[in-house]
Amino acid sequence: MKNGQLMEKQETNWFRGAAAVMVVLSHYAEWWSWFVPVEGNAEVFRQALTKLGVYGVDIFFLFSGYAMVKSLGRERMHGAFIWKRIKNVYIPYLIVVGIIELLEGGFASMQDFLYFASGYDHWYMFVLFIFYIGFIAIYTVVGGRAPRVAVFFVFTYIFSRILYERGMRDFWYVSNIAFALGVAAGEYEEWIKKTVDKIWIPLALVLAAGMAFAAKWGLEGGADAGGGSEEYWLRLQIGATVVWVLLVLVLASKCRIKEKGIAFLGRHSLYIYLTHTYIFMWCTNHLELDIAWRFAVSALATVVISFLCGILVKAPEILIFRK
């Protein structure tokens, strides 16, 4: 690991892959109840799986915020940085989701097209694009590490509050703090790394205990303990997100992970997220197989097609480079 660097690419790819698995599993667990009635312990287990998705998104936002700072470095905002975001995220989104939209019949109205262009129907992409725009604007106007981090946290709060006031689902704003924490981790990584190196074992144990409490609280119906208060539930959820993000940060910093399968999924996690819903719906509607096999085929097809999407999107760049 480079001196002072908090996390290596291999570890961030591995955790991204784990996050992709968590998101897909959460959706599969939710969709499973459409076909197979579950109750008792099986239902508790299914409910636990459905909650994985939010924590998977936390991981994606954490590493996205961190990567933004690392990619920009200590330089002023410049066009190459903006183009890299467009090339690596927005163009792949347009290509993959554009193909899916055409397969589903195209755009019925201008509003449909605008929702597609903004990523609105893929809430994670929509929020990610807003964070990209906010980061670029703040890092263009504001100078200095501390002011930039402070303003970005204010931006995150205002954006999250707007989503909250509009009645968006909880994961539209609960996970947002993870992106801001990623930005802070990128800016203060030298100090964080020194601290983690000294106390990472007791710190990881404390954070793991906090996550055990959060998981137990969530499965037992958490909000009821606060008299059904939405504000109480929201504070606990944000607290769980902060604890989880810090735990992932510590583990990603200290663990040297050699396993390559999950890291492979991490390198293609954007395409897994964009394609897995469409592939699942197609498989369950068209394959005459037992429902468990349709789920299994959906998962395998998602991995294969995501890999092919990566090749498709990068093919023009590879050809130009070879010439």
Tell me: the pLDDT tens digits for 169-226?
Answer: 666 688 999 999 999 999 999 999 999 999 999 999 999 999 998 887 776 665 444 4
Mean pLDDT of the region 7-25: 93
Contact 185, 62 (CB under 8 A): yes
* Lowest model confidence (mean pLDDT) among 104-108, 214-218, 273-277, 310-314: 214-218
- Pairwise CA distance, residues 25 & 159, whole Å: 28
pLDDT (tens digit per residue) in 275-306:
999 999 999 999 999 999 999 999 999 999 99
Would you tell me how many other CB atoms lie within 10 Å of the CB of residue 236?
19
- How far is the C-alpha of 7 from the C-alpha of 193, rounded, in Å? 9
The gap between the terminal CA atoms of the chain, to the nearest Å, is 34
Q: What's the mean per-residue pLDDT of the chain?
A: 89
Candidates 247, 123, 135, 115; CA nearest to 184 is: 135
Distance CA 222, CA 321 (A): 54
In degrees, rounded to 5, the angle at the alpha carbon of residue 159 between the alpha carbons of residues 158 and 164 is 95
pLDDT tens-digit readout, 30-69: 999 899 888 888 888 888 898 899 999 999 999 999 999 9
Please state, for a pLDDT cut of 70, what percent of the chain lies above it. Answer: 91
Q: What is the pLDDT of residue 217?
A: 75
36: left (phi over 0), alpha (psi -120 to 50) or beta: beta
Most confident of 2-11, 70-79, 156-165, 232-241: 156-165
The more confident residue out of 165 and 181 is: 181
Only one residue has tokens 């109840």, namely: 33
Query: Collapsing DSSP states into helix, strand and coil, what is residue 290?
Result: coil
Which of 319, 309, 318 is CA-nearest to residue 268? 309
**What is the reported pTM?**
0.92
CA distance 222 to 225: 6
